[in-house]
Amino acid sequence: MPQEAVLTMLIQGIVVVGVVFSCFAGLTVIERKLIGRFQARVGPNRAGPFGLLQPLADIGKLTFKEDFVPAGANRWVFRLAPIVPVVAAVGALALIPFGGAHEWFGHTVTLYGTDLNVGVLVLLALSSLGFYGLILGGWSSGNKYSLLGAARNAAQMVSYEVALGLSIVGVVMISQSLSLVDIANDQAEGVWYILFQPVAFVVFMIAAFAETNRTPFDLGEAESELIAGYNLEYGSVKFAMFAAAEYVSMIVISAFAATLFLGGPDGPWLPGFIWLGIKIGALLFLFIWVRATVPRFRYDRLMKFGWKVLIPIATLNILVTAIVLGLGFAN
């Protein structure tokens, strides 16, 4: 690979990671502000003007907290576990097309890290890899409640990842490609796939809540049952890394949904990356809205909903899509 291409990719990676982690810090404030408004509270308003410096206060607090490893823990795995979901979430960003090719200062720059012909599968694999960090964190802590939280995460991942994968099949059948760049380009030339696959979009978003371990599917850290679950023994920077992984995963899964169903960077007048940012912001607002309004599921109902509702609906959607495409109605 030419040295210039390597340098361009390195700069792109630094910019994307910097922007995403800045968004993660801002998203924590926005979420707490919005939940406060939803619940007739004010939210953070002490750290800086309008509470905007709350992320810096949180980082400072967590940095100076005691960082220890429990006596019965597997030390190496315990330290490695928080890193895995962060790396997996950040790595997935390389597959998201934030726009097409542009000429900047005499150089052609693409607004995506890489275009793989199996990009959808790789992104799903990275999503699964992130869950291993939660599972390893609970197992390596040497605490039975942490282990129960990890076991719940494992069962939840298996259940809802099936529904998530099935919800994408209809999009792949229509676009005839597993490349996220091709899927985004097809929608830019035609119509957004949410018009063809509204049921798949709903199934995808419900499964996305479970994949990102968000309310009402955060059973792996149900405080009333597990004393905080898989992350019970973590503190300081390690605890912050688990929190960062959750928020970055929310951003990634929202970008994934926007690319699959909402045209990705497609939109009039404004640059593509701004349109994608608007769509990601709208989906993140949905994540926050649901957290503020929907109570946590009971665990047996969580599993029944995944296996007996979402998976049959996603399978039926694939069948209907195949019939429609086979009869040529979508052409």
Residue 91 has a pLDDT of: 82
Please list the residues that pair with 104 across neighbouring strands: 107
The Cα 117–Cα 111 span in angstroms is 17
For residue 242, which of 28, 83, 47, 6 has the smallest C-alpha distance?
Answer: 83
C-alpha distances in angstroms, 139 versus 50, 112, 129, 149?
Answer: 40, 36, 16, 9
Tens digits of residue pLDDT in 106-143: 556 666 667 778 888 888 888 888 788 888 888 888 88
Six-digit token pair at 127? 């999503």
Residue 95 has pLDDT above 70, yes or no: yes
Residue 100 has pLDDT above 70, yes or no: no
Tens digits of residue pLDDT in 236-273: 888 888 888 888 888 889 999 999 998 888 878 888 78
Residue 9 has pLDDT above 70, yes or no: no
Burial 233-272 (b: 16+ CB within 10 A, else e): bbeeebbbbbbbbbbbbbbbbbbbbbbbbbbbbbbeeeeb
Out of 49-53, 229-233, 253-257, 261-265, the most confident range is: 253-257
CA dihedral sign of residues 11, 12, 14, 15: positive
Tokens 């709903």 appear where? 202
For residue 253, which of 75, 85, 25, 1 has the smallest C-alpha distance?
Answer: 85
Domain boundaries, the chain: 71-327
For residue 154, which of 229, 73, 93 has the smallest C-alpha distance?
Answer: 229
Residue 313 has a pLDDT of: 94
Six-digit token pair at 41? 């509270």
Out of 124-128, 152-156, 285-289, 293-297, the most confident range is: 285-289
